[in-house]
């Protein structure tokens, strides 16, 4: 990670926490009042250079079911706001590949050295695969390679702007409004490893 990218991430995370602090307070109260359970969800994910870290999210499930508040949080991506803290801790970047669990990596068969490029940049709070809804792993790898090929301030700013639109209007609505924005149409697929499907 370049010094410029790290400065961008820290400034962005601090600004994000300041801007969303009121909303985060309301969300925390809503999660707590909905079912009385913990506000935050923690889970191990695989990060930079395949090192594990604990990702933070607002809890959206209980007993294997999505809660009423959780349904809204997932639809708008607001459940991921606590990841500003992960960015400040250096576990994540504002923009990057989707943070995967170890089970995801094993299931997708991304354990080999040919997939190491994906972990040469930090996972992102948002990113191409997250916004474009890549579900096939080959599509996700195409998009992850864009991040791995080098940091772009212009691309990061565009994706962050799209993320704000998702927070405001919801993922489903944004994808209905812009159906041409799909993983296959956004970038030509380079040759490379291809396997199963991503969830």
pLDDT digits (tens, 9 = 90+) for 104-119: 999 999 999 999 999 9
Q: Report if residue 27 sits inside a domain.
A: yes
The pTM assigned to this predicted structure is: 0.85
* DSSP state letter for 2: -
Q: Report if residue 191 sits inside a domain.
A: no
Q: Which residues pair with 124 in a beta bridge?
A: 93
Distances from the Cα of 1 to the Cα of 21, 37, 91, 129, 167, angstroms: 27, 37, 12, 20, 27
Q: Report if residue 155 sits inside a domain.
A: yes
Q: Report if residue 137 sits inside a domain.
A: yes
CA distance 119 to 174: 28
pLDDT score, position 72: 94
116-153 residue pLDDT tens: 999 999 999 999 888 877 667 888 898 999 899 988 89
Q: Report if residue 116 sits inside a domain.
A: yes
172 vs 62, more confident: 62
CA distance 150 to 90: 18
Domain assignment of residue 93, given as a range: 3-186
Q: Is the pLDDT of residue 187 over 70?
A: no
Identify which of 56, 50, 51 has the alpha carbon closest to the alpha carbon of residue 38. Answer: 56
Identify which of 146, 127, 132 has the alpha carbon closest to the alpha carbon of residue 185. Answer: 132
Please report the beta strands in 36-152, taking only residues with DSSP state E, as ranges in sequence order: 40-46, 52-58, 61-62, 65-66, 93-95, 124-126
Q: Report if residue 71 sits inside a domain.
A: yes
Q: Report if residue 197 sits inside a domain.
A: no
User: Hunting for tokens 């490893």 — which residue is that?
Assistant: 193
Tokens of 31: 């999660």
**Poorest-confidence range of 66-80, 81-95, 147-161?**
147-161
Q: Which residues pair with 55 in a beta bridge?
A: 43
Identify which of 124, 116, 49 has the alpha carbon closest to the alpha carbon of residue 80. Answer: 124
8 Å CB contact between 88 and 13: yes
Q: Report if residue 121 sits inside a domain.
A: yes
When divided into structural domains, the chain yields a total of 1
15-31 residue pLDDT tens: 999 999 999 999 999 99
């Amino acid at each position: 990670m370049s010094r410029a990218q790290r400065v961008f991430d820290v400034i962005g995370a601090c600004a994000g926490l300041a801007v969303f602090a009121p909303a985060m307070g309301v969300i925390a109260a809503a999660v707590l009042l909905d079912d009385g359970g913990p506000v935050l969800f923690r889970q191990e994910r695989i990060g930079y250079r395949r090192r594990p870290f604990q990702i933070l999210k607002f809890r959206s499930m209980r007993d294997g079911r999505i809660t009423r508040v959780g349904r809204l949080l997932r639809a708008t991506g607001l459940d991921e706001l606590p990841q500003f803290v992960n960015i400040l801790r250096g576990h994540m970047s504002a923009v990057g590949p989707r943070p995967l669990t170890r089970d995801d990596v094993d299931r997708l068969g991304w354990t080999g050295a040919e997939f190491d490029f994906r972990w040469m940049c930090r996972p992102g709070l948002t990113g191409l695969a997250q916004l474009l809804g890549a579900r096939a792993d080959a599509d996700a790898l195409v998009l992850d390679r864009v991040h791995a090929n080098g940091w772009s301030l212009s691309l990061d700013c565009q994706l962050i702007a799209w993320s704000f639109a998702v927070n405001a209007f919801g993922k489903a609505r944004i994808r209905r409004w812009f159906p041409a924005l799909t993983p296959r149409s956004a970038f030509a697929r380079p040759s490379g490893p291809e396997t199963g499907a991503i969830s």
